[in-house]
């Protein structure tokens, strides 16, 4: 494969209102959209958007590395050299969000070339969890009611900004409004201390809660808690790389691993982790880090690969004032319908600024 065009577009999209969890507040998302084209004029897009507070790299670092990649590809394209996938990905492996975006663009391109169709699943519905950020009790209950009205069967509630007793009372109020067909997830973002987490797992309504995500910050304490908790424990922020995720799948009693691929980095390695978890009887949940319509499309692909019928955390588009283009994977009645014949989406209508571009 010879890369004939390499472009990267800066973008910034605002949220309708700030989204708050126990660790940070998101007001907007900034990043780059990558566009690559091969000698047959097939095009692939990818998103690079480090999330402050979670990603190890900064926006400025990404811009520097994108320019390096740009000039590297200029030299190879001028000589009509084949794109060296292994070396290019190895050179950016220390920058997870950049690796995610480059892999997304390359995978999309390879699928269009008919060289990677094996990763596409059958036409399938992907169940999506509704999301409620940290808000007042009244706002949380209203948001839950709205999600129930929209036919969501799984609802994830962010906690950790109040006392553990207040958190428990809020969850009990939510549970009074739901029947046995609804699953509740709690996401603490590591804000409880271990003693609070112990108290919570013994005082929350066990039969209503699917799992508690990242109850404490320390991974060793999460593993300890998972050994005796009557409520399943999930891990999210404590997974800093694919090696740590692999270790948790193979060696811990944690039953649920939530992966944010655009922060974790590699789409390819995420697919490996999905298969590994299935072999160990554990669940992988694909979760959004507030990507634009471009980045979310890669998450939908990954969610389609998960065989378990678990609900995925991809309900973030509704928080944006506007997006970069039309969403090909809109949520209806708590479900995204994935058609492999339509992947990757055509993002030629994206509303972006003038790109830095190379074309031969």
Q: Within this chain, do residues 230 and 274 fall inside the same structural domain, yes or no?
A: yes
User: Among candidates 97, 128, 132, 170, which has minimal Cα distance to 22?
Assistant: 132
* One domain for residues 109 and 159: no
Q: Which CATH number fits the domain that encloses residue 159?
A: 3.20.20.120
- For residue 276, how many C-alpha atoms fall within 13 Å in the half-sphere facing its CB? 18
Q: Are residues 30 and 112 in the same domain?
A: yes
Query: Predicted confidence band at 358 (pLDDT cuts at 50, 70, 90)?
Result: very low
Crossing angle of helices 242-251 and 219-228, in 10° steps, is: 20
Structural contact between residues 8 and 32, judged by C-beta atoms closer than 8 angstroms: yes
- Residue 359 scores a pLDDT above 50: no
The per-residue pLDDT for range 78-129, each reduced to its tens digit, is 677 776 667 777 888 889 999 999 999 999 999 999 998 888 888 899 999 9
Shared domain check, 128 and 205:
yes
The answer on 200 and 64 residing in a single domain is no
Residue 39 has pLDDT above 90, yes or no: no
- Domain containing residue 112: CATH number: 3.30.390.10
The per-residue pLDDT for 23 is 65
Domain range enclosing 144: 124-342
The count of residues in the chain is 360
- Are 153 and 182 spatial neighbours (Cβ–Cβ below 8 Å)? yes
- Say how many domains are in the chain: 2
C-beta pairs of 119-123 under 8 Å, 24+ apart in sequence:
119/271, 119/301, 119/305, 120/301, 120/304, 120/340, 120/343, 121/304, 121/305, 121/338, 121/340, 122/340, 123/337, 123/338, 123/339, 123/340, 123/341
Are 269 and 334 part of one and the same domain?
A: yes
**pLDDT (tens digit, 9 = 90+) per residue, 126-180?**
999 999 988 889 999 999 999 999 999 999 999 988 899 999 999 999 999 998 8
Mean pLDDT of all residues in 318-332: 91
Q: Are residues 18 and 110 in the same domain?
A: yes
Q: What is the pLDDT of residues 249-272, one digit of tens each?
A: 998 889 899 999 999 989 999 999
- The pTM assigned to this predicted structure is 0.91
Higher-confidence residue of 141 and 4: namely 141
- Asked if residue 111 and residue 38 are part of one domain, the reply reads yes
Same domain, 179 and 250: yes
Specify whether 18 is located in the same domain as 56.
yes
Answer yes or no: do 252 and 106 share one domain: no
Beta bridge partners of 26: 19
**pLDDT at position 78:** 66
18 and 76 inside one domain: yes
């Amino acid at each position: 494969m010879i890369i004939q065009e390499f472009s990267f577009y800066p973008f910034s999209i605002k949220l309708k209102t700030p989204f708050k969890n126990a660790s940070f507040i998101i007001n907007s998302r900034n990043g780059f959209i990558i566009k690559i084209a091969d000698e047959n004029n097939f095009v692939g897009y990818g998103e690079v958007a480090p999330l402050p507070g979670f990603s190890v790299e900064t926006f400025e670092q990404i811009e520097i590395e994108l320019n390096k990649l740009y000039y590297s590809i200029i030299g190879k394209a001028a000589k009509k050299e084949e794109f060296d996938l292994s070396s290019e990905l190895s050179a950016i492996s220390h920058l997870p969000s950049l690796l995610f975006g480059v892999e997304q663009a390359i995978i999309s391109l390879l699928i269009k070339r008919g060289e990677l169709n094996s990763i596409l699943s059958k036409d399938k519905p992907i169940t999506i969890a509704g999301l409620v950020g940290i808000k007042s009790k009244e706002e949380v209950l209203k948001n839950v009611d709205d999600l129930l009205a929209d036919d969501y069967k799984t609802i994830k509630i962010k906690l950790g900004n109040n006392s553990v007793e207040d958190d428990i009372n809020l969850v009990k109020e939510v549970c009074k409004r739901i029947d046995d067909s609804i699953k509740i997830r709690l996401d603490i973002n590591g804000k409880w201390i271990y003693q609070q987490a112990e108290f919570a797992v013994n005082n929350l309504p066990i039969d209503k809660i699917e799992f508690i995500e990242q109850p404490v910050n320390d991974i060793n304490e999460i593993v300890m808690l998972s050994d005796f908790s009557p409520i399943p424990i999930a891990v999210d922020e404590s997974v800093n790389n694919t090696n740590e995720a692999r270790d948790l799948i193979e060696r811990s009693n944690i039953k649920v691993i939530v992966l944010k691929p655009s922060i974790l980095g590699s789409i390819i390695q995420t697919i490996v982790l999905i298969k590994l978890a299935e072999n160990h009887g554990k669940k992988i949940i694909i979760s959004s880090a507030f990507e634009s319509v471009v980045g979310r499309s890669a998450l939908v692909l990954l969610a389609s690969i998960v065989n378990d019928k678990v609900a995925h955390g991809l309900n973030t588009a509704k928080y944006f004032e506007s997006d970069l283009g039309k969403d090909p994977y809109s949520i209806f009645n708590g479900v995204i319908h994935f058609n492999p014949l339509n992947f990757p989406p055509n993002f030629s209508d994206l509303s972006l600024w003038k790109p830095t571009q190379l074309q031969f």
